[in-house]
Structure 1
Amino acid sequence: MTLSAPAFDWVCATVEREAAIVLEPGKEYLVESRLTPLARSGGHPTVTAFVDKARTSADRRLREDIVEALTTNETSWFRDNSPFQVFSDEIMPYLKTERAAARQLRIWSAACSTGQEPYSLAMLLNEGLLPVGWRSEIIATDLSPAVLRQAEAGVYSQIEINRGLPANRLVRHFTRAGTKWAVNDDLKRMISFRKLNLAQPFPPMGQFDVIFLRNVLIYFSIQTRREILARMRAVCRPDGFLLLGGAETILGMDEHWQRFSQGRVSLYRPR
């Protein structure tokens, strides 16, 4: 299948308008690969024909399908490992002391995709990281209804399981479901999944002790990143923590965050 220049430009404008995600020239291959299944399922001979249909149709669902296809990102269990190690070894000991009176912990997994990140955090808390008698709440959000449905269902293929999940945790936290694996209910009860567009004003959410905003800022323009970081400051407790992806930084974007290094991991706090 082929993608014409006008079709690519329209897709870029649509995705930026709907999700504030910037697709730069040179990403034609990505757009074509993500939209090819949609074009084929709709009986269109080319991706360009499918995009032309979406552009002229009154059916908004076609445009929503395009945005969703291009905002679904790869993920894995305990992705990059180091942030989860810092969460266990540095963040939680601090919070156990500072939240000892309230005995409550709130975590936000922003851009949670199909759920591997919040379930990874839930596993750590479930395995004894959360003190007995404490309450925890993990809020997991994403723009895509499709990935949220899978995350909430908590059912994964063997290929998805193989992406970073240790065998001992598979046995402890999952149950065989035919050819797939289902997250046990005790983990599912720890997480609340919600649809949220990071590029738009947040709904009332309360404040969080820890925010995982990993591997998502890189898809936004500089201005949108600044707006998101400003909104993050409003929902992060003054002594809370923000964690970004390994290739991400907020240097030069928002001077109201203070950076701390823990090995290869950068932590941020509101100033």
Structure 2
Amino acid sequence: MEITKPDFALFRDYLERVCGILLGDNKEYLVSSRLRGIMKELEFTALSELVKKMEIDSRLREKVVDAMTTNETLWFRDSHPFKILQEKLLPEICAKQKNLDLWCAASSTGQEPYSISMIIEEFKRSNPGKLTSEKIVATDISSSALEAAKAGQYDQLALGRGMPEDLLTRYFSKHENSWKVNANVAARVQYRMLNLLHSYSMLGKFDVVFCRNVLIYFSGDVKKDILTRIHSTLKPGGYLLLGASEALSGLPDLYEMVQCSPGIIYRKKG
């Protein structure tokens, strides 16, 4: 699939406008590989035809955004955020309340929200009666990723990417060539489709927000807007956890940095 410079610029601008994803220069090869199947199916030869069609076809728009979204993910990615949750945040929250509201803002195919849910189970095993109600709202822009997450069924290859053996046997059940998340882990996770450029007002208020490894795809202005609006979803003193390669800068009035060695998290100000 040949992509001209003007067509690439048109598509790049459109993609950023509808979902915030910022494609770098010279990424024609990426667009070509991700969209080849859709272009062939529609019998389009130029990317400009696809953009024109997306303007009036919301299902096609969703399909294209889905194809352009990276759904690479791991269990317990970077490990220390989950350790911080288990050893610092949950004890701190349980000192003042018995309920937990948590938002996982880029849930992909479910590895992160289920990892969080397993950490909650582990905490409850060690601290009986401390937590009695927990809700994880897990959102993503990709409908196919959300369907996979809701199914909660993973093959050995997917589980090989970070799943500890003891947690696999404790929180999954074997189904022929795959493993399914147990009901006690899955029940507290609520999946919803959400474009991070859109309103968060229907999500509720949270003690903790995981927004990890997604801000890297956005421009500086979009990042700042998302982080400002996440601030309004946090309860007083609530915490924000970002990805290992992501840092919060330029919003000193909204968040204070908390050093956790290893790892940095951010506490809501005001």
Same fold flag (TM > 0.5): yes
For residues 199-218 of structure 1, what are the structure 2 equivalents within 5 Å? 199-218=197-216
**1:190 corresponds to:** 188
User: Which SS does the other structure have where 2:267 is aligned?
Assistant: strand
**2:51 corresponds to:** 55
Write out per-residue CA displacement over residues 175-230 of structure 1, whole angstroms, 9 at most, x where no aligned residue: 22232221111211110001111112213222111110011111111111111111
Which amino acid is the alignment partner of residue 237 of structure 2? D
**1:25 corresponds to:** 25
Distance apart, 1:7 and its partner CA: 2.9
**1:118 corresponds to:** 113
C-alpha distance in structure 1 between counterparts of 2:159 and 2:184, whole Å: 18
* Aligned mate of 1:106, from 101, 114, 119: 101
Gaps of 5+ in 2: none
Distance apart, 1:132 and its partner CA: 3.2
User: Which SS does the other structure have where 2:235 is aligned?
Assistant: strand
Which amino acid is the alignment partner of residue 12 of structure 1? R
Distance apart, 1:43 and its partner CA: 6.9
Write out per-residue CA displacement over residues 115-146 of structure 1, whole angstroms, 9 at most, x where no aligned residue: 10000011111123474341111110011111
**1:15 corresponds to:** 15
**1:266 corresponds to:** 264
Gaps of 5+ in 1: none
Q: Which moved more, 1:187-196 or 1:4-13?
A: 4-13
Contact kept in structure 2, 1:225 and 1:253, CA below 8 Å: no
**2:147 corresponds to:** 149
Write out per-residue CA displacement over residues 153-175 of structure 1, whole angstroms, 9 at most, x where no aligned residue: 11112211111011221111112
User: Which SS does the other structure have where 1:49 is aligned?
Assistant: coil
User: Which SS does the other structure have where 2:150 is aligned?
Assistant: helix
Percent identity, please: 38
C-alpha distance in structure 1 between counterparts of 2:46 and 2:172, whole Å: 39
C-alpha distance in structure 2 between counterparts of 1:174 and 1:142, whole Å: 23
Q: RMSD in angstroms over aligned alpha carbons?
A: 2.0
| Change in CA separation of 1:56 and 1:226 when aligned onto 2, cut-off 3 Å | closer
> How many residues align structurally?
264
For residues 238-257 of structure 1, what are the structure 2 equivalents within 5 Å? 238-253=236-251, 255-257=253-255
For residues 32-47 of structure 1, what are the structure 2 equivalents within 5 Å? 32-40=32-40, 42=41, 44=43
**2:228 corresponds to:** 230
Which amino acid is the alignment partner of residue 114 of structure 2? Y
Write out per-residue CA displacement over residues 58-90 of structure 1, whole angstroms, 9 at most, x where no aligned residue: 544333211111123311100011111111121
Distance apart, 1:235 and its partner CA: 1.0
C-alpha distance in structure 2 between counterparts of 1:243 and 1:222, whole Å: 18
Distance apart, 1:15 and its partner CA: 1.1
**2:128 paired with 1:132:** yes
Contact kept in structure 1, 2:11 and 2:48, CA below 8 Å: no
Write out per-residue CA displacement over residues 72-118 of structure 1, whole angstroms, 9 at most, x where no aligned residue: 3311100011111111121122112122xxx1011111011111000
Contact kept in structure 2, 1:226 and 1:254, CA below 8 Å: no
Which amino acid is the alignment partner of residue 55 of structure 1? V
| Change in CA separation of 1:50 and 1:79 when aligned onto 2, cut-off 3 Å | farther
Normalized against structure 1, the TM-score is what?
0.90
**2:64 corresponds to:** 66
C-alpha distance in structure 1 between counterparts of 2:19 and 2:259, whole Å: 31
User: Which SS does the other structure have where 1:227 is aligned?
Assistant: helix
